Structure 1
Amino acid sequence: MQGPLIISLDVSTRGDLFSLIDKFDRDEKLTVKIGMEFFYGEGPQIVRDLLDRGYDIFLDLKLHDIPNTVKNGMKQIGRLGVTFTTVHALGGSEMIAEAKQGLVEGAKEAGVPTPKLLAVTELTSITPEGLANEQNSKLSMVDQVVSLAKLAKSSGADGVITSPLEVSALKREVGDDFWYVTPGIRPKDFPKDDQSRTASPAEAAEYGSSALVVGRPIIKAADPVAAYHKMLEEWEDAKR
């Protein structure tokens, strides 16, 4: 499956957000990511405002709590009408299953499609050394990500958030009928910043990513619209 190139709107204020997205044609169909920083400052109204513009929303809050708390939180998210949302796979099978149930119930109450539930495997900022020495995992990075993805799929998730570097192994081990949404996407000449496992759009397509998440290479560009279209063209061309 081929999904969108998602713009990560990692900004601090409402003014910054609309200053950025107002550069795009109002008729352009965008998928945008709202993360913790902005959602905690602005709340659900910003999601409604972006939905009113016709955008698809990836609400990336990475819920990780006891199953009942996550279920009730996901009910609220399910009512909003977003397209994607996230939990941490490390929360376990019961939490993931309850998250999905909360989304289904909330969406049904609101009369909107159920959001796709994506489980975060290992953050792209985690290095193999951090996995071994801080998380005390005896698995390699690839084996850890595959294990978490299998857990997520068997628990009802629709896909995972993962580094593009693990996608090939995931597709072999977990299957093609699953979303592999990959952050850490950079043009070849762009700094890695705090991402340790990155790829270009063409490389991500070659690995088999389903959708891309791109932040700073677009929102920090001198011309964000041109940067978006350049990366989108590379992504779409590579997937043909």
Structure 2
Amino acid sequence: MANPVYLALDLPQLDAAKTLCQKVKGHIGGVKLGLEFFCAHGHHGVHEIAHLGLPVFLDLKLHDIPNTVAGAMQAIHVLEPAIVTVHASGGRAMMEDAKAAAGENCKVVAVTVLTSLDDAALGRTGVSGTAHDQVMRLADLAEASGLDGIVCSGHEVKAVHDQWRKGFFVVPGLRPGGRATGDQKRVVTPRQARDDGASVLVIGRPISRAEDPLAAAREIEGTL
């Protein structure tokens, strides 16, 4: 992949999202559209962004019974996403059915532990051990389920990459050096994540909320 940066384009106004994407498209490799965008703009919004000519990553984090998730995957075939997320905690059967129902050219990756959770927050959900332990367990399960890869923080990507050499790894929660982390708990720089084996770098607010988004995107690209 020439440019691994996928811009998280979760803006409430479609015109603003299109304008931002058009402005920085020469310095990113794709666009991540999450729940906020999809709930606001639906299939129409995805088509509008896709017309700008960049690969689309649908970060829908599907998590339900296997039949329902498979049906959802089939429903988004027409959108031709490059990447779609499901939750690894949905279990092996759900992940297997999600992959079977996905388009031929669509990578299905499993969300392991959200980057907004640290060890203490994870423990309060009933999960024993550290976030790192849970990511490694779920990575094993995702690989056994036939998925293409996982979503994890930059703190775990090196260990997962060492374990799953052919995996496809999406790393969100990235912050260039010295930038505010906001609600993200487990963050690293884009350069570190890339060096540690990340396939896709998801970057949102450091670009979308920058005073000069174009300059911010160009600066991040220059570090990779």
TM-score (norm 1): 0.88
Q: Which residue identity is paired with 2:129? A: L
Instruction: Give the 5 Å matches for 1:102-113.
Output: 102-103=101-102, 107=103, 113=104
**Partner secondary structure for residue 165 of structure 1:** coil
For residues 28-48 of structure 1, the C-alpha deviation after alignment (integer angstroms, 9 at most, x for no partner) is 774001111111111111111
- Counterpart pick for 2:180 among 188, 191, 215: 191
Partner Cα distance (2:62, 2:179) in 1: 30
**2:207 aligned with 1:218, yes or no?**
yes
RMSD: 1.7
- 1: CA distance, partners of 2:117 / 2:53: 34
- After superposition, the Cα gap between the structure-2 partners of 1:2 and 1:92, relative to the gap in structure 1 and judged at 3 Å, is farther
The one-letter amino acid paired with 2:101 is: G
Task: Name structure 1 gaps, 5 residues minimum.
Answer: 108-112, 236-240
Aligned to 1:238: none
Structure 2 residue aligned with 1:11: 11
SS at match of 1:118: strand
> Does residue 64 in structure 1 map to residue 63 in structure 2?
yes
Q: 1:43 is aligned with what amino acid?
A: G
Which of 211, 215, 220 is equivalent to 1:231? 220
Would you say the 8 A contact 1:181–1:212 is kept in 2? yes
Structure 2 runs not aligned, ≥5 long: none
CA, structure 1 residues 221+28, in 2 after alignment: closer, same or farther (shift >3 Å)? Answer: closer
> Matches of residues 42-191 of structure 1 in structure 2 within 5 Å?
42-103=41-102, 107=103, 113-132=104-123, 134-173=124-163, 175-191=164-180
Q: Is the 8 A contact 2:143 2:149 kept in 1?
A: yes
SS of the residue corresponding to residue 11 of structure 2 reads: coil
Matching of residues 194-209 of structure 1 within 5 Å = 194-209=183-198
1:32 alignment partner, SS class: strand
Identity of aligned residues (%): 38
Whether the 8 Å contact between 2:58 and 2:84 is mirrored in structure 1 is yes
Cα distance in 2, alignment partners of residues 189 and 202 from structure 1: 13
Distance of aligned partners of 1:15 and 1:116 in 2 relative to their CA distance in 1, 3 Å threshold: same
Partner amino acid for 1:45?
Answer: H
Q: Using the alignment, how far apart are the partners of 2:52 and 2:209 within structure 1?
A: 22
Paired residues of 2:85 and 2:108 also in contact (CA < 8 A): yes
Amino acid at match of 1:203: Q
Find the aligned partners of 1:207 and 1:56 in 2 and give their Cα distance: 23
- Cα deviation per residue 1:74-114 (whole Å; 9 max; x = unaligned)? 011233211001000000000000111111xxx3xxxxx43
TM superposition shift of 1:24: 3.5
- How far, CA to CA, are the matches of 2:74 and 2:53 in structure 1? 22
3-state SS of paired residue (1:45):
helix
Q: 2:156 aligns to what SS in structure 1?
A: helix
The residue type equivalent to 2:159 in the other structure is A
Closer, same or farther in 2 for the Cα pair 1:100/1:4, shift >3 Å?
same
**Following the alignment from structure 2 to structure 1, what is the Cα–Cα distance between the partners of residues 7 and 24?**
12
Aligned length: 224
Q: CA deviation at 1:66?
A: 0.5
Instruction: Identify the residue that residue 110 of structure 1 maps to in structure 2.
Output: none
C-alpha separation in 2, matches of 1:165 and 1:52: 34
The whole-number CA distance in structure 1 between the counterparts of 2:13 and 2:37 is: 7
